[in-house]
Structure 1
Amino acid sequence: MGVRTEAALGLGGNLGDPLQSFVAALHSFAGHPAVELRRFSSVYRTKPWGIVEQPDFLNMAALLSTDLGEVELLNLCMEIEQASGRERRERWGPRTLDIDILTFGELVTDRPSLQLPHPRLAARGFVLVPLAEIAPDLMIGGRSVAALKAAIETSDVVLDEEETTRLRDALG
């Protein structure tokens, strides 16, 4: 076991039943012996970003504490994505589940397979809105998540109350 680190994750999906993919992913994290699921946000609906000719996305954020290293956590995220049927065909294309590590403690790294904090986090409302719900005071690059959120347009990120209720019911 390594050093316990708090990590922030962003989850998204727009194929199949993304909410069920979120539930399965959160169960996988909570059931892992080196991971403690601390908090998770509501579910938000957003228009596609990048490739716009695809279904709307559902997005949420989660905070966890882990004894895994950042690469081990990345591998776990990719295993969970694959279990949901994720196929990596095109960047910003449709997917059953996408799990991004947004932050891993205070680690700053720039590797081909993993950049932390996530390099586009501060420009994405669909990441900042759910993350601000559960960790507004989390500091990223010297600014709080709440401040980062306040600095961008987020009106296109809409709380999906029905999917949030489904999520909370499924997770007990």
Structure 2
Amino acid sequence: MSKGRDRVLTQDVFEELSRHAQRIEEAPWLEFVHGKLGVKAPPDGNRGRIIAWLTRLCMQADPDRWLYANQGLRIETDREGNARPDGSFALSGTFAGQGEWAGPDGVLMVVEVTSYDEDTDRRDRVEKPRAYAETGIPVYLLIDRDSCEVKVHSQPDGARYEQVVTVPYGKTVTLPDPVGIELDTEPLKNWTR
């Protein structure tokens, strides 16, 4: 490319790229966080099992709220990023009619389960907490299979989460309001290698 004509990946271009990628069998899931294109590892069996377990717990706590698996969200301060959390906790029907990339309004909590790839540290532990806090999502739950810990981020201030509670697997942790669920993390020991 000639000088001055460098192309910048915009959200519209990203969403078009993602739409085309989804048509390819076994294509990776793409994300666009803080202006960086990323690839999200598809769920492995244990990661899928963790989301199924959380879904059941969420439904038992309140059948009018649902943990939506892999719903794409427009995130960050100006909604110019795209993430595909492992789970988005919201009222039943929140994402109806919104398509692949939904607005974050009504999302009470996002959940990420670390994958065993080289980008997980940067993506799940650094970039996504900042992006979700900028978006104003009240709770970010990180299930960290590398450290065998659960991190509950809450009280977003528009730039970061002011409170982070970390517990090892086996302890009970409170997912604060507006989620309001006590989470016994003992079963997570079964789904981490």
Q: Could you state the TM-score of these two structures normalised by the residue count of structure 2?
A: 0.30
Task: Give the number of the structure with larger relative contact order, counting CA–CA contacts within 8 Å between residues 6 or more apart.
Answer: 1
Q: Could you state the TM-score of these two structures normalised by the residue count of structure 1?
A: 0.32
Structure number with the higher helix fraction is 1
Structure number with the higher strand fraction is 2
Structure 1 or 2, whichever has the larger Rg, is 2
